[in-house]
Structure 1
């Protein structure tokens, strides 16, 4: 368990020295963080609360005279309006603070906010800038003493780093905007620079940056080739890829670290490098480089370092098939374009990293399915290819305890759901809804799935989470004479499909209102036996919705595929259904949960003998 940590454990060796205070406050100003509510920081707070399973989480920044909370989860007025207090100062000073009970810890027990916010369990992780200075903290708070498992602290640490990266990105973006304004003023006469600033500002991927730079330079400067070579932490050098004026891609296939080449020298020496003729290449870079130069048909080349906010991330190479000596104006334009490209590439690489972190967090929420005697389970989640690769679709299954004094009863809960949205907020709300639904089931043993959905709806409405979406929630109970009984409720979700050998695939119809704040008409329950050999499929609408096609047609097609593949192993079946219905790059998020009662399933145990599903695992 992570119980405590001192200076240095969070990336800072102590309080900010006076000499750095002005720079730190400027960084906060550039990030736009103050006591005003910040939607992005609120999302990180909500995600921290969900990861740590605590009622309160904060994103705190240290201003000139007080601490402010741009991000809050679990607190209402007056804190959401005032956003000022002093507890997180210990994190800013010490680097990290994780305590089971802040009321008894000597470092925190005298803080007034302990009583004001009913703080007991406390975990505070630092938000560090590029210079190692702690700007603030990400805090998770429990009103009761709270032991902090290592994996939870590790997850909060990763989330704090993602939050700090978001702050650094805002700072970088602000500085880029300022630099862009200064450069544009100096080079206002150049239409190419103006268009480069406009076009590259909207790019979101590395390939898109490469394409736009190639189009701009080969078109306006009449160059034969324009390419970008990237230095990255995981891949030392990315091969230079450029574009000829006719639109065909020319890959130089050069590793500037291993193979001598002008782009490598420009990046290593952080200066513009100009080369004319094969003989100059032979003298400066060797015979192999000269041979490659001649094969490419180049006569002149200019390589400009791509200088990012912290380091050189690569080089821009521009070549001509005829001898060309760029003048000062062209060099200035290339330098400015390289600067814009470097910022755009940094942003693209950061977005890729941020999405990767979000995907890892979402994957962590899709826990391993339980082992169930007499029942097979398989789940699949695939994000939309064209979006942030995170969203609100999920599947879940877990064991349940019977009501006190009852024999038998539900032994398994299964859920498929779709929270509205295709971004980190949707994934955050999905994690909260998933945890709340699990808690509702365990808090109401013996009650049906509708009661759990009612409790989820009440909690999300009371907490004003703004959660909207659909789901199917079910309880499964083994039947005395074989097979299982399904008891389910449907909150506006596509109906489950049931394939039973020897009969047509069936839609389990009957659904009620979706989850939506202010709508509270109640949910009904439906029963259906699952005989041996039957396969139940729960899915989200991304599997069956197609532009220009009724969803009913998609469901009918899915039912036909399910019938065809009813004998396939479940893992293969879910993959085949997704491939046939949504393709390799789905246009929407897709989640599936398949359950099958084997033909040779053993007879269910005596209800008095306990549950065949361990209600304690896997953990939520």
Structure 2
């Protein structure tokens, strides 16, 4: 075949193929379910393929020469402007969504992605081709996913890997009272929820960096709502990884504000409970409740009223407020104007009111509660073991409060805790009063002597019943002769206190009736009859104020401190006996001068002993304090100085002390 012949054959073949191309394209488009409509410059249909005809429900030839609105008026309003735009601008308009209801059963809504392409014919005529692909399955899947996400109670959405927010579910929008336009399209850290919080923005950027690296990030973050409220969310940023690359980020958040509030309430309740465990008096309990209880019930005001049945009044402990209000409500007479406090005591039931109801039921209160800034208030009974009200817990909120079951339960729980603590404190105070009366009886004697300047003190061990095994005694034998005693029975509590009274009475009797050397041995024999395990120490000093002499004996006891006018303070060693409760025989005793101005200090070991410290250190500390006392100080001033410097508030043992000073006759 000649070369020219080959060229002519190829041209003929190409011409045949070109004539076959339209049908070939139709076949391809039909197989791909792609619809094509071609419009002329008058927006009339010039071509419709079979896919488009089947979709519309009309034969293809019916479409030719008609406008879109003649057959499909529901979509003409969407499509005609875009067709006209493509014709006028001769630019492709891509990926526009078209929504319509199918004219064929089941007449459901369907979705199409349409591209409008300008086409120029060989005759230089302008056309626009609408090429559309159905996206209904994808769109419906997207809608189902959207409905699912919108139904979730958590806040969630979708971001680009760079953090641009593409979607936010309904929970996010509803909680923040925003539309999608307010949040979609913004970088995540610039969303209005935290755009005014630089610290949170930094936190979000750090989380974004972690998520971009393929690592999930999780933090608690504060969210600021449009109405000024502030919520705390458990915020997570999870990367979507495809083929080893992060293609999207899924932010999600769960509102944990109430969980945190409840945690804070429980922490406040636990803190209040710990503080109340250390409170020993009703005043301490009431002050702790007033200061710490508001956080337990999200309130701004708490007071405690305690019934004084004898005076027929309610005594209130409350936070600081205007002086005239404090004066007016410091005590509430039971026969005074009716208040919620009166109703609680009368009925034993809580009174929970808002401002409107308070105005109707308790008009006398409204002016003062308004000054304090209270809206809703609650008065809850404080009851004893028999269920009788002995006080009232008052609670106030500056905002309206709904008294739902949860709030009532917290109020009852707080009132129970307060009731138990107050009743324990009341029992402690009653016990302390009894102890004080017993101690006053056992250690009763004035800080005076006919011939000597004497000062006495007793301090019980911290946390003990109020008195124990330590005692003191001043025994005036005759007009010039005085015996001084301090002693310490081993142990604490009731047993030690009982033994102490025996020892005190025994030694007093012996001092008045036997010779000095016999006092300790006789006490040992006498007290052994009471208890075979009896152990006690004692220091006994005799002062002859006429002769100005001092004698002493120590039964296992620490040495007294003596300071004469002309010298330094010294520890009086010698004249030792074993402790009472062990066998002992009479021993010699010393007699030394005790001139005018001399100072003698007798004490029990609680004054000088410290945990982990050698006793000699404590003795030297006491001696040094006595040595520094002014030469002319009184016995009382000396006692007070000694006890202040030795910080007896931190004591772990009982302390008894006798300070005596020789004075001019």
In the TM superposition, residue 325 of structure 1 has moved relative to its aligned partner by: 1.8
SS at match of 1:388: coil
Question: Retained in 1: the 8 A contact 2:290–2:302?
Answer: yes
Question: Retained in 1: the 8 A contact 2:282–2:425?
Answer: yes
| Segment drifting more, 200-209 vs 492-501 | 200-209
Partner of 2:644: 579
The structure showing larger relative contact order (alpha-carbon pairs under 8 Å, at least 6 residues apart) is: 1
Question: Retained in 1: the 8 A contact 2:452–2:545?
Answer: no
The structure 2 residue matched to 1:265, chosen from 343, 347, 350, is 343
Partner of 1:239: 316
Partner of 2:136: none
Alpha-carbon distance between aligned partners in 1 of 2:662 and 2:426, rounded to the nearest angstrom:
46
Partner of 1:470: 537
Question: Is the counterpart of residue 520 in structure 1 residue 596 in structure 2?
Answer: no
Partner of 2:527: 460
Q: In the comparison of the two structures, how many residue pairs are matched?
A: 390
The structure with the greater share of residues assigned to strand is: 2
Question: Retained in 1: the 8 A contact 2:279–2:285?
Answer: yes
Alpha-carbon distance between aligned partners in 2 of 1:569 and 1:552, rounded to the nearest angstrom:
27
Partner of 2:360: 283
Partner of 1:79: none
SS at match of 1:271: coil
Q: Deviations over 1:245-280 (max 9, x none)?
A: xxxxx9995433357643343224422101112x43
The TM-score, its normalising length taken from structure 2, stands at: 0.51
Partner of 1:91: none
| Segment drifting more, 555-564 vs 580-589 | 580-589
Q: Matches of residues 180-199 of structure 1 in structure 2 within 5 Å?
A: none
Question: Is the counterpart of residue 448 in structure 1 residue 513 in structure 2?
Answer: no
| Consecutive unaligned residues in structure 1, runs of 5 or more | 1-189, 245-249, 402-407, 602-620
In the TM superposition, residue 191 of structure 1 has moved relative to its aligned partner by: 8.8
Q: 1:581 to 1:220 in 2, by over 3 A?
A: closer
Q: Matches of residues 49-448 of structure 1 in structure 2 within 5 Å?
A: 204-206=280-282, 209-210=285-286, 218-233=294-309, 236-241=313-318, 254-257=330-333, 261-277=339-355, 279-287=356-364, 289-309=365-385, 311-335=388-412, 337-368=414-445, 374-384=451-461, 386-400=463-477, 411-443=481-513, 445=514, 447-448=515-516
The structure 2 residue matched to 1:529, chosen from 565, 570, 593, is 593
SS at match of 1:502: coil
Alpha-carbon distance between aligned partners in 2 of 1:465 and 1:372, rounded to the nearest angstrom:
36
Alpha-carbon distance between aligned partners in 2 of 1:483 and 1:376, rounded to the nearest angstrom:
14
SS at match of 2:557: coil
In the TM superposition, residue 313 of structure 1 has moved relative to its aligned partner by: 0.9
Alpha-carbon distance between aligned partners in 2 of 1:507 and 1:396, rounded to the nearest angstrom:
21
Alpha-carbon distance between aligned partners in 1 of 2:447 and 2:295, rounded to the nearest angstrom:
59
In the TM superposition, residue 420 of structure 1 has moved relative to its aligned partner by: 3.3
In the TM superposition, residue 452 of structure 1 has moved relative to its aligned partner by: 2.0
Alpha-carbon distance between aligned partners in 1 of 2:330 and 2:558, rounded to the nearest angstrom:
52
In the TM superposition, residue 565 of structure 1 has moved relative to its aligned partner by: 2.9
Q: 1:515 to 1:265 in 2, by over 3 A?
A: farther
Alpha-carbon distance between aligned partners in 2 of 1:478 and 1:208, rounded to the nearest angstrom:
48
The TM-score, its normalising length taken from structure 1, stands at: 0.54
| Consecutive unaligned residues in structure 2, runs of 5 or more | 1-264
Q: 1:533 to 1:217 in 2, by over 3 A?
A: closer
Alpha-carbon distance between aligned partners in 1 of 2:421 and 2:575, rounded to the nearest angstrom:
47
Partner of 1:565: 630
Partner of 2:141: none
Q: 1:263 to 1:497 in 2, by over 3 A?
A: same
The structure 1 residue matched to 2:555, chosen from 477, 482, 491, is 491
SS at match of 1:256: strand
Larger Rg: 2
Alpha-carbon distance between aligned partners in 2 of 1:217 and 1:369, rounded to the nearest angstrom:
45
Partner of 2:190: none
RMSD: 4.0
Partner of 1:4: none
